[in-house]
Amino acid sequence: MTEYGSEKMAEEERNASAEKLKEKANNYFKDKDYENAIKYYTDALELNPSNAVYYSNRSLAYLRTECYGYALGDATRALELDKNYIKGYYRRATSNMALGKFKAALKDYETVVRVRPSDKDAKMKYQECNKIVKQKAFERAIASDELKRSVVDSLDIENMTIEDDYDGPKLEDGKVTLKFMKDLMAWFKDQKKLHRKCAYQVNALQIRCRSSESLMKLLYPEHFHLLRGNHETDNMNQMYGFEGEVKAKYTAQMFQLFSEVFQWLPLAQCINSKVLVMHGGLFSEDGVTLDDIRKIDRNRQPPDSGPMCDLLWSDPQPQDGRSISKRGVSCQFGPDVTERFLEQNKLQYIVRSHEVKAEGYEVTHSGKCITVFSAPNYCDQMGNKGAYIHLRGSDLKPEFHQFTAVPHPNVKPMAYANSLMQLGMM
């Protein structure tokens, strides 16, 4: 056998092995074990790095785990290998949508629709993406302080009538009560709709309850006098000096504030000057202090870089140093970054969310970086547990509590999500 023949045979054997790995990855994907699916797609690519399908499949697995930066990279690589591979355009469009790059997404959706004009799903996604692009252009064109008034202000809610045949939940004297909340939960479980007047009334209540003071009094009534900071001047509320269990007491009134929680909560919470809690994680550069966090311009859309972006979007990694974010924004930070930040700010550990974890939580960086994720079976498909933490005693030692998802209603998973974000690919 010639040297060329031997090389050809070896290549065929590698490709056959790669196909077996791909099939194994596909089976993990079907079982919603996306981490193992990614692992075996990666192994297949090591044997056959010029296969566009492997990159496209791994891109979809990354999308399911919200690693949008990695997903975008894989979809782009698939198209570099095969510019006619239509699924690559689909994956890249979805990645760009998740990253807020709507014009780039629209361009790829246009390609898919042009190649497959009879594909209803592709046409729907193109139309919805096009609508978003046009809407954002319109908002930029008319943007002014005078137009920031709520639509609710222009409605005559009091004179709206509720039809006699409507037997759903109603507000009592315009107030959200515990009975209303229980009735509403039962009503929604039966897939029924709240009357538009009630919906407008609730929305009006939300707008009137916009202060962080109202929210903090609601969440921490017995400890409110220990809180400081407000949404206009401070991005980091500080809880001082009390021992025992830190807990939030939710009431029916929480519904009034629900849609504005993320607008009015601080960017970070420092508990007993020992633990810093945030959504994402630490920073792209060393040297950020708690005072720096307090000085961030909170009331704006998050930028693509900087401390505010990092607090919302960064993720921990096992190795030292920093690396490019798997999400396509901010960074990934190692245990050495965590150690330096804690030492500079005289903290014990950080608690962050933002990542699905199979057990609902994960402790990394030698116990100094805790991830807690409270949504079980995330997006109706991940199969993960949820968790929350109790911080007890003066040392605030974390105590983890896990829980699983309740039985799913008799509706399609993610039925009420924007179809562009359901990640249902071709």
| Positive or negative torsion for Cα 421, 423, 424, 426 | positive
Residue keyed to tokens 């707008």? 207
Structure tokens at 380: 């109706």
Cβ within 8 Å of residue 351, ≥6 positions away: 275, 276, 277, 278, 370, 371, 372, 389, 398
Rounded CA separation 406/81 (Å): 44
List own/partner pairs for 30-33 with CB under 8 A and 24 or more apart: 32/64, 32/381, 32/382, 32/383
Q: Of all helices (H) and strands (E), which one includes residue 389?
A: strand 386-392
β-strand 275-278 against 315-316: which pairing, if any? Answer: unpaired
Active site residue 223: no
Q: Of all helices (H) and strands (E), which one includes residue 150?
A: none
**Which residues are bridge partners to 231 per DSSP?**
none
SS3 track for 190-235: CCCCCCHHHHHHHHHHHHHCCCHHHHHHHHCHHHHHHEECCCCCCC
Burial of 34 (0-12, 13-18, 19+ CB in 10 A): buried
Rounded CA separation 184/150 (Å): 24
The type of residue at 307 is P
Give helix then strand counts, H and E, for the chain: 15, 12
The type of residue at 319 is Q
Phi and psi of 203, rounded to 5°?
A: -65, -40
Closest CA to 224 of 211, 215, 234, 233: 215
Structure tokens at 300: 């704006």
Structure tokens at 207: 């707008």
SS3 238: strand
Which letter does DSSP use for residue 145 in this model? G
Residue keyed to tokens 């962050």? 352
* Residue among 195, 223, 231, 408 flagged as catalytic: 231
**Which residues are bridge partners to 369 per DSSP?**
350, 364
Helices in 261-300 by DSSP H: which ranges? 261-264, 290-294
- What are the residue numbers of the active site? 231
